[in-house]
A and B are shown apart, each in its own frame.
Chain A
Amino acid sequence: MSRLILKDLVKKFDNVAAVNHVSLEVEEGEFVTLLGPSGCGKTTTLRTIAGFYQPDEGEIYFNDRLMNNIPPAKRNTSMCFQSYALFPHMNVWDNIAFGLKMRKISQPEQKKRVAQALEMMSLSGMEKRMPGQLSGGQQQRVALARAIVTQPDILLFDEPLSNLDAKLRVQVRVEIKEMQKRLGITSIYVTHDQDEALAISDRIVVMNQGQIEQVGDPQSIYLHPMTSFVAGFIGLANILSGQVVARKENQVQLELPFGRFWAFAGGLRASVGDTVRFSFRPENVVQYREGSPNKVSATIQHAIFMGDTIDLFLDAKGTRLRARAESAAKLKPGDIAVFSIDETAFQFLE
């Protein structure tokens, strides 16, 4: 088990920086997810940690040990690949035992550990099967077993669930989380699926264009996005900008085309007259009840039934807004309805 430190990491391909000055510290036993759209540099970061790429700049430490020049084979990390990367010519047992053999672990110890891993992954009885004879979920388990059996310092996951169907994906991610907690191995997990990231991580690192946008636990990432990229990438958000027209205590009044609204300022340093960017979630735009703040009246353009709620697309004096209503509410396109926005919902962006 290791602490992982990335210091000012840069990795270029053909002079284009795939990873651009990334610094990150991961505590022992922590489960950190690198989240971002494809091409954001998350996989490159992961593979640089594994040692498949040499960083062009910056340093990688496991605990206090500089790892830059250590070949992948000596890093004692274990990677779970998107394709599982099982050895097609070896049976399940040999696949799992491979890393132990490489570490010259004694035969009896190998047996014990592989059996344990099989047990843990509910694969007992399948040790003689070839990878080609297994279902996708089973192959996934073998890949996990192969990764943990070597007791790595760091577990690396490269979108390990993207080849599974939706239901299985939810099930396996819970298993991965449980397993990681039980073993307490420091884990770096790469995904582009925000639900997965929110569900599984201790901390999320949102990446975009080779750089870190925001680091934080799932709640703070969701509730307090700090950049418009994070706000837009995670969940749904109305991202707008407006002028500060008044300020009192820890509240500011914002001038928007469809009215003036009071919002909690949080750490906002802006003074009257400044233009600021902010976001709020659709679930914070709710049907107006007597006494609610920040009243908006808007035309309903589309109303999409989602089961427990209705997704609404609104037109508020030319500004498009997303809102959410309880499915009991009888709203249909063309109606004009009145909504309110919670003062605490406003997240000011950089």
Chain B
Amino acid sequence: MAATKQKNLWYVRQARRKRRFTTLLTVFFILVQVLWVGVPIFMTVLWSLVDPNHPWSFPNILPEKLSWGQWMYVFKYTNILRALKTSYTLAPCAVLLSFLFSLPTAYVLGRKQIPGKKFFQTIVLLPIIMPGMVVALFLSRVFNAFGLAQNFFGLVLAHTLMGLPYMIRVLTTSFEAIPQDVIDAAENLGANTFVKIKDIFLPMVRPGLLAGMIFAFTTSIEEFNLTFIIGTPTFETIPTILYSFLGYNFIRTNASVVALIMMIPNIIMLFAVENFLKSDYLSASLGKL
């Protein structure tokens, strides 16, 4: 009896020690992560706030004076506003198109056992697998031939191309995840094809649809290669502007401002997605199967 008790104590102590270790490790990782992500961002914020009249140079650890001067300069003189406008009109257009294009395809890939399915699924991945610069450079020859280069509609097509794989993949999984029973039940209760699409398929793939849209949206906002080759100089997006500040025109303060302008909406989006992924009712409601 005594021995058992002692053994139990050992066991409890061991478990407690393990839990404490895990907590410590978690805290450690969080700290590392805060440094890992936070420091770079913090430094960028500092650089973007350097006062134009008080350079931040070695050996100063911190800038002498902070001001909004760099932000004002960027907004006043660079094409940032035009680029913001282009980026944020381009992205919704590309998302809309890729949604329309991916819906029928994802339906077939998700719900039909067609011959050659694996092949088609590989094709869908091509825009992700293929190196961006190669596609951009030589697609630009094709676009040139059809008057799509340096053209807004051409850019929308290019961005749609890059968003499609994410959209199709996510939607395909959503379509796959719908239990056949549910569709049969709807049909059994009298639903026709139209009702099935409107009341069953669309609402049930909605979580996937939103996720796909967010993926396609951020892909479009980030897209550099195709925009750079096909769109610039007529159309500047935020990445191409940033590239010009990072390349031969490397001006750290201006680049910081543009980097932040590009980054902040994305991080906000990340938290939106986080929340949304938690309320994934599709898997929740079918969890008892």
Q: Which A residues are closer than 8 A to B by beta carbons?
A: 47, 50-52, 71-79, 81-90, 98-99, 102-103, 130-132, 136, 139, 146, 150, 156, 163
| Sampled A-B contacts (27; CB under 8 Å) | A50-B188, A51-B188, A71-B187, A72-B184, A72-B187, A73-B187, A73-B190, A78-B188, A79-B188, A81-B181, A81-B185, A82-B181, A83-B289, A85-B184, A86-B185, A86-B285, A88-B284, A89-B204, A90-B203, A102-B190, A102-B191, A103-B190, A132-B281, A132-B284, A150-B189, A156-B188, A163-B289
Closest CB of chain A to B201's CB: distance in Å? 11
* Interchain CB contact under 8 A, A98 and B281: no
List the B residue with the shortest CB-CB distance to A81. B181
Q: Which B residues are closer than 8 A to A by beta carbons?
A: 179, 181-182, 184-192, 195, 199-200, 203-204, 206, 281-282, 284-289
Q: What residues of chain B lie closer than 8 Å to A98, measured between beta carbons?
A: 186, 189, 191, 199
Measured in the bound complex, the distance between the Cα atoms of B280 and A130 in whole Å is 13
* Count, A-B residue pairs, CB within 8 A: 92
Measured in the bound complex, the distance between the Cα atoms of B181 and A346 in whole Å is 44
* Interchain CB contact under 8 A, B190 and A99: yes
Measured in the bound complex, the distance between the Cα atoms of B212 and A274 in whole Å is 73
Measured in the bound complex, the distance between the Cα atoms of B195 and A103 in whole Å is 12
Q: Which of B179, B182, B190, B203 has the most CB atoms of chain A within a 10 A radius of its CB?
A: B190
Within 8 Å by CB of A83, from B179, B187, B188, lies: B179
* Interchain CB contact under 8 A, B190 and A89: no
Q: What residues of chain B lie closer than 8 Å to A102, measured between beta carbons?
A: 189-192, 195
* Interchain CB contact under 8 A, B184 and A81: yes
Q: What residues of chain A lie closer than 8 Å to B289, measured between beta carbons?
A: 83, 163
Q: What residues of chain B lie closer than 8 Å to A47, measured between beta carbons?
A: 184
Measured in the bound complex, the distance between the Cα atoms of B185 and A146 in whole Å is 10
Measured in the bound complex, the distance between the Cα atoms of B182 and A47 in whole Å is 14
* Interchain CB contact under 8 A, A79 and B285: no
Measured in the bound complex, the distance between the Cα atoms of B289 and A163 in whole Å is 8
Q: What residues of chain A lie closer than 8 Å to B282, measured between beta carbons?
A: 88-89
Known: A50-B184, A81-B184, A102-B195. A88 touches B286 (CB 8 A): yes
